[in-house]
Amino acid sequence: MPYSRRWSLQNIGVPGLILIVIIALNVFDPSKLPEIGRAFGSTLRGFTNSTKDLISLDEKEEKT
């Protein structure tokens, strides 16, 4: 079986990021990108807070 590398986000590199930004600018209106970024950031922040709450709840249950 030949060696195959799995694609992951860690292997994108700078040229890949530049390409993604160019595609995003073409697909979305440049004036909408900050709004999309804020929405993504708030979604990620909410997910992080929910994860922290679940972990702390699990730790409290283990102590009792």
Residue the block writes with tokens 């030949």: 2
Q: Is residue 5 part of a domain?
A: no
Is the dihedral angle over the CA atoms 40, 44, 45, 50 positive or is it negative?
positive
Q: What is the pLDDT of residue 27?
A: 86
Q: What is the pLDDT of residue 24?
A: 83
The yes-or-no verdict on residue 58 having pLDDT over 90 is: no
* pLDDT tens digits, 8-51: 666 778 888 889 888 888 888 888 888 988 999 999 999 999 99
Q: Is residue 42 part of a domain?
A: yes
Q: Determine contact, residues 22/14, Cβ cutoff 8 Å.
A: no
Picking from 14, 39, 8, the residue whose alpha carbon sits closest to that of residue 22 is 14
Q: Is residue 53 part of a domain?
A: yes
Q: Is residue 14 part of a domain?
A: no
Picking from 25, 48, 47, the residue whose alpha carbon sits closest to that of residue 36 is 25
Q: Is residue 13 part of a domain?
A: no
pTM: 0.51
- Give residue 45's domain range: 25-64
Q: Is residue 6 part of a domain?
A: no
Q: Is residue 36 part of a domain?
A: yes
pLDDT confidence of 4, banded at 50, 70, 90?
low
Q: What total of structural domains would you count in the chain?
A: 1
